[in-house]
């Protein structure tokens, strides 16, 4: 066997009978915010990590996979995104990836937890890389759903970058049919959205499948995709949804050309090949997505780990 | 946080500072064979699992992903595989998937550990599904490398289904340049091989990259691919290598047609879409594969977790 | 650090933020009985162990401490115990220690869980050492409280050897004032009882202290004592209670003489010196015992881990 | 089962197949000093804890047991200790307990690790309670063995308060026959010493027994004793050794009188009753101590966990 060398461990329980163990080198920050328990820790395998309510959010070593996979499929598919809205996105790395797009003129990021954002700014500079100071950015600490309900503004792309829907957590009303309808109304005619949608592990597909099914009640195009963020301990699902544009209609070569033209700096995870590849799903995942009937509603919300 | 409900845990250490935790429901079998520590346990998330030397080998819930991903890319790419050789493959599920191919006339499986094979036969019937009794099968308990060195027989496909190269384990001489040359000599002119090649997690690519690099010393075509077997706790790498046929030259539609024509029963993971998708790799993986220089040799073997 | 060598662990949670970890070598037996989850496992430090509802009950390596500490202080203090009643005592080791006493003519053991007793008999022969076959023994599988309420028989010594009072478990009504009054009525005039009473760890004295306080409502003499059963992970409390005889009135020398005269075979843990020593408690424990006001009643039962 | 509520754990491995788990609430300090890895963490069960090289040293909740048990048996037995020497004692709590004794005129504390002492001073004020500022105290950061070898000073009591003899650690040459002879030469004619001597768990008595046996080569009186410090996860052994005075010759009543007369403030753990009780050991411990033959020497040092 491999002999463990750590005596301090973060146990990220994926369900009551499974977890991923991270040896802790140092705890950098720990607090209870108004909304959640927050920790920034240095782990042996993934460097610095943001942990909220005991769940890994992103790590120094592989946050580039998560954030590139979340942002670029949508922004590169859209013909010319100017106005982008982020629901959540506390670490500032979603913002960072959006701002690489030269077409983007304005980003509004609405995160409910000011303390998380401020601590990430301080302790995780490689995540935001100064993004919060970009003049194109507007940052508000509000309930994003309420904000979207009340505003008349519209956006080309809305990116939902929030933690999972746990019972006590701040996020569960951001996974419902009603919320996706609100989001739809805040999109421009060619508008698109993208979101993370939970694990795609073979035995815990209920979240991913029902989120995709629920998206279909609000959007004609729903394109689920999958990637591996190793620090999460399980393969992970995402989805693009749109009023009409299909991300799978853009060829790998076209993606590579758009990257060259539209994006500043170098991507590490994303390129034309993976744009195509990540929408190609295994048969069992296709079948589960096709057969799912659950629609998540405000009065029948989804909670993971049930 | 998710509250764990198990008080018996299998800790699969992926490296000295990381692991995947499986709640144990029952231990079904446990022994020290002549070659390795073997356990069959019922876990909460993945049902029955085979564990060798403390490492997950395959689980009831997702072995279909591993075994279909290992067998079908090669056998479906090959124009008509008749004779197949398995190095290892103790659970009998690689055998099961090979035998679905109507073209296959003879399979020789050579596994060094008779006790593992016999216990899998007894405790994991869903894995082999009677495959060992198929008249096309010949099963030998020998050192596969030695056997391949000494035989004059040739095979259309050779599938290397072995555990990782750990220092005390039986497998490390099955990952070297010299071994791949022996394998090459035992292939028919259109011969192909496939193997699992370790984790593709962002910080532990040395095994996957150097196996692929080493394969290139013996084969003109090397096609690495990646999939997620959730019970492994990390994304996983495989490779097809061949004397000339490229698996990426076969279209998804052609794969689906060959499945319909050449395979008995229904696949659960594999179809044309994923055949194409799993060869499409992220940019950082492509770059690492391109820059790797390490060649694994008999006198400079590779050990994982170093 | 000490490097762990096991990859299968039994985590005995002592409270929600503390536990004792036992490396599992093999699982020998595992079942859900009518009353509780039962496991017999071989651990690295303590050999075979009985685990009920996820809590260590006794281990091959140190059950002699637990069982000698439970039985002999009372039986050696009593001038000549003939009739003994055991509440619980599934492993048969309490029975074994009682039967060493030459004066004992009859032991009635009443355990609610037949399956536990039968499996202990089969898997833990070093515990009972054939005690169940002794002609002086009567074994019944009943609710011990109900039995004691309904019988008219009396006993010289009653030993309460049960698991802790957990909410779903079978034992919580065997820790109340009402139960101790029932027990009192079933004792002969010189009758005595003994019981285990939970951890004596500095921060979790509520169980031990309130059990002792509750015993005082039914018995004029209550003598709490403490010993260390290493496999329990915490120091452990017991109590003798009696209608009049005080175990601390018997000198170490007298205990050693009685051992020589009255006990068959050799004791491993108990002798005159420890008889005296284990009743001598630290100041903080004395103070806690003196100040405790909680009386456990049927309608206000005690549950550990609250 | 008890459901754990923590997702950050300190695993204190007691041996390669056993450990004690402490839920971490916050990490207060963490560093690699010149000599050892040091952590100060807040745990759920025991409050703040000092951890060196992955081993619990002392905790807010029960350090009073450890330090009172280490200091008072010797200082209260000695007729009038004036000059005391501490080997180690980094937390300052051994110092605190010594300074309560009105007879003490001078304490020299020699700890090799200045950084540990300074951090304890800062983060663990309840341990030292200002003891370092007492004018009777002299503190040096040196190799205590070397210092004792070279000095001509003598002391009434020498207290050895060091971590366990691990291979890479700073302490292993402070457990040998040669060291105890050096210590003996630095004692006044009525001089006494005391030390902690490792776990007294039934299966790991080699350290405790061989330390006691080794002490006998340098001192005519050796009085081993045992207590439970719950945060250590196992029962713990200590020993008094002296040139002639036997701690067991002082009655509990006399101890209580001396406490009243000689000690300032209130003790929490120690009183006459436990002075007597802790020297009264179980039979198996007595037998092991009597049969041990191992003498620890400089060129045959003892390492725990071997």
Task: Give the tens place of pLDDT for each residue, D3-53.
Answer: 888 999 999 999 999 999 999 999 999 999 999 999 999 999 999 999 999
Q: Which residues of D are catalytic?
A: 161
Q: A204: which strand partners? A: none
- Structural domains present in chain A: 9-59 (2.30.140.10), 63-291 (3.40.50.150)
Say yes or no for a CB contact (<8 Å) between A26 and D24. no
Q: CB C305: neighbour CB atoms within 10 A?
A: 16
What is the three-state SS of D260-293? HHHECCCCCCCCHHHHHHCCCCCHHHHHHHHHCC
pLDDT of residue A90: 96
Distance of residue C289 Cα from the nearest chain D Cα, in angstroms: 14
Distance of residue B12 Cα from the nearest chain A Cα, in angstroms: 8
Structure tokens at A207: 């979240």
Which other chains touch chain C, taking contact as 3+ CB pairs less than 8 Å apart?
A: A, B, D
pLDDT of residue B273: 98
Contacting residues of B for C24, CB less than 8 Å apart: 8, 27
pLDDT of residue A168: 65
Percent of chain B with pLDDT over 90: 92
- D113: contact with A, CB 8 A cutoff: no
Average pLDDT over residues D113-136: 98
Question: How far, in Å, are B256, D78, D187, D217 from residue D241 at the CA level?
Answer: 83, 11, 11, 11
Which segments of chain D does DSSP mark as H helices, in order? 63-77, 93-99, 114-123, 125-128, 144-150, 177-185, 206-216, 252-262, 272-277, 283-291
Q: Which residues of C are catalytic?
A: 161
Label residue B306 by pLDDT band (50, 70, 90): very low
Distance of residue C94 Cα from the nearest chain B Cα, in angstroms: 27
pLDDT of residue B87: 98
pLDDT at C168 over 90: no
pLDDT at B163 over 90: no
pLDDT at D111 over 50: yes
Q: DSSP letter at D43?
A: E
Q: Which residue, among A193, A208, A203, has the nearest Cα to A81 in the 3D structure?
A: A193
pLDDT at C244 over 50: yes
A103/B298 Cα distance (integer angstroms): 54
B200-247, pLDDT tens digit by residue?
999 889 999 999 999 999 999 999 999 999 999 999 999 999 999 999
C231/C48 Cα distance (integer angstroms): 11
pLDDT of residue D168: 66
pLDDT at C34 over 80: yes
C21-31, pLDDT tens digit by residue?
999 999 999 99
- Kindly state the helix (H) or strand (E) to which residue C286 belongs, with its residue range: helix C283-291
Which other chains touch chain A, taking contact as 3+ CB pairs less than 8 Å apart?
A: B, C, D
Q: What are phi and psi of B263, to 5 degrees?
A: -115, 135
Among B7, B12, B41, whose Cβ lies nearest the Cβ of C11? Answer: B7
Say yes or no for a CB contact (<8 Å) between C268 and D280. no
Label residue A169 by pLDDT band (50, 70, 90): low
Q: CB B126: neighbour CB atoms within 10 A?
A: 13
pLDDT of residue A96: 98
Among B8, B12, B13, whose Cβ lies nearest the Cβ of C24? Answer: B8
Q: Are A51 and A231 in contact (CB under 8 A)?
A: no
Label residue B1 by pLDDT band (50, 70, 90): low
pLDDT at C70 over 90: yes
Average pLDDT over residues B17-28: 96
pLDDT at C113 over 90: yes
A183/B22 Cα distance (integer angstroms): 38
- D4: contact with B, CB 8 A cutoff: yes
Contacting residues of B for A70, CB less than 8 Å apart: none
Say yes or no for a CB contact (<8 Å) between C13 and D22. no
pLDDT at A306 over 80: no
- B226: contact with A, CB 8 A cutoff: yes
Q: DSSP letter at C276?
A: H
- A133: contact with C, CB 8 A cutoff: no
pLDDT of residue A166: 72
pLDDT at C306 over 50: no
D242/D91 Cα distance (integer angstroms): 25
pLDDT of residue C169: 64
Say yes or no for a CB contact (<8 Å) between C1 and A5. yes
A98-148, pLDDT tens digit by residue?
999 999 999 999 999 999 999 999 999 999 999 999 999 999 999 999 999
Q: Nearest-CA residue of chain C relative to B55?
A: C7
Contacting residues of D for A13, CB less than 8 Å apart: 7
| Chains A–C, number of C-beta pairs less than 8 Å apart | 10
Q: Are A269 and A277 in contact (CB under 8 A)?
A: no
pLDDT of residue A302: 87
Q: Which residues of A are catalytic?
A: 161
- D54: contact with B, CB 8 A cutoff: no
Question: CB-hemisphere CA count at 13 Å for B12?
Answer: 25
- B39: contact with A, CB 8 A cutoff: no
Distance of residue D198 Cα from the nearest chain B Cα, in angstroms: 28
pLDDT of residue B237: 97
Average pLDDT over residues D109-119: 97
Q: Classify residue B266 as exposed, middle or buried by CB count within 10 Å of its CB (0-12, 13-18, 19+).
A: exposed
C213-239, pLDDT tens digit by residue?
999 999 999 999 999 999 999 999 999
Q: Which residue, among D233, D276, D231, D240, has the nearest Cα to D65 in the 3D structure?
A: D231
A63-89, pLDDT tens digit by residue?
999 999 999 999 999 999 999 999 999
Distance of residue D211 Cα from the nearest chain B Cα, in angstroms: 33
Average pLDDT over residues C243-260: 98
Structure tokens at B153: 């027989």
Q: Which one of D17, D27, D38, D55 would you mutate to disrupt binding with A, by most A Cβ within 10 Å of its Cβ?
A: D27
C178/D274 Cα distance (integer angstroms): 33
pLDDT at B167 over 90: no
- D168: contact with C, CB 8 A cutoff: no
Give me the interface pTM, i.e. the ipTM.
0.95
- A36: contact with D, CB 8 A cutoff: no
Handedness of CA A250, A266, B203, B295 (dihedral sign): positive
Q: Nearest-CA residue of chain C relative to A7?
A: C1
Say yes or no for a CB contact (<8 Å) between B3 and D5. yes
Say yes or no for a CB contact (<8 Å) between A17 and B201. no
- C261: contact with A, CB 8 A cutoff: no
Sequence-distant (6+) residues with CB within 8 A of A233 are: A12, A14, A19, A20, A56, B20, B233
- B291: contact with A, CB 8 A cutoff: no
- C54: contact with B, CB 8 A cutoff: yes
pLDDT at B299 over 50: yes
Among C15, C23, C45, whose Cβ lies nearest the Cβ of D203? Answer: C45
- D19: contact with C, CB 8 A cutoff: yes
Q: Which residues of B are catalytic?
A: 161
Distance of residue B41 Cα from the nearest chain D Cα, in angstroms: 20
Say yes or no for a CB contact (<8 Å) between B61 and A202. yes
Distance of residue B1 Cα from the nearest chain C Cα, in angstroms: 13
pLDDT at D285 over 80: yes
Contacts of the segment C50-55: beta carbons below 8 A, 24+ positions apart: C50/C90, C50/C91, C50/C120, C50/C124, C51/C10, C51/C12, C52/C116, C52/C163, C53/C163, C53/C166, C53/C168, C53/C169, C53/D1, C54/B7, C54/C12, C54/C13, C54/D1, C54/D2, C55/C12, C55/C163, C55/C164, C55/D1
D160-206, pLDDT tens digit by residue?
999 888 776 668 899 999 999 999 999 999 999 999 999 999 988 99
pLDDT of residue D306: 43
């Amino acid at each position: 066997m491999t002999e463990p060398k750590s005596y301090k461990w973060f146990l990220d329980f994926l369900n009551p009978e499974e977890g991923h163990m991270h040896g802790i080198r140092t705890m950098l920050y720990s607090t209870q915010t108004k909304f959640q328990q927050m920790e920034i820790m240095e782990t042996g395998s993934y460097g610095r990590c943001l942990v909220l309510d005991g769940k890994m959010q992103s790590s120094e070593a592989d946050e580039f996979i998560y954030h590139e996979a979340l942002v670029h499929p949508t922004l590169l598919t859209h013909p010319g995104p100017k106005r982008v809205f982020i629901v959540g996105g506390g670490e500032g790395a979603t913002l960072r990836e959006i701002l690489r797009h030269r077409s983007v003129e304005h980003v509004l990021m609405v995160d409910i937890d000011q303390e998380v954002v401020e601590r990430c700014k301080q302790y995780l500079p490689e995540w935001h890389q100064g993004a919060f100071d970009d003049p194109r950015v507007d940052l508000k600490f509000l309930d994003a759903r309420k904000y979207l309900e009340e505003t008349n503004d519209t956006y080309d792309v809305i990116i939902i970058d929030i933690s999972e829907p746990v019972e006590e957590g701040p996020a569960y009303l951001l996974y419902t049919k009603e919320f996706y309808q609100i989001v739809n109304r805040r999109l421009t005619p060619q508008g698109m959205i993208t979101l993370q949608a939970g694990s795609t592990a073979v035995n815990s597909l209920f979240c991913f499948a029902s989120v995709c099914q629920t998206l279909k009640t609000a959007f004609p195009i729903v394109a689920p995709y999958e990637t591996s963020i190793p620090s999460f301990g399980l393969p992970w699902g995402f989805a693009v949804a749109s009023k009409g544009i299909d991300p799978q209609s853009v060829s790998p070569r076209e993606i590579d050309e758009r990257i060259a033209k539209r994006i500043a700096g170098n991507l590490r995870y994303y390129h034309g090949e993976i744009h195509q590849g990540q929408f190609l799903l295994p048969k069992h995942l296709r079948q589960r997505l096709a057969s799912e009937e659950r629609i998540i509603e405000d009065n029948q919300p989804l909670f993971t780990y049930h």
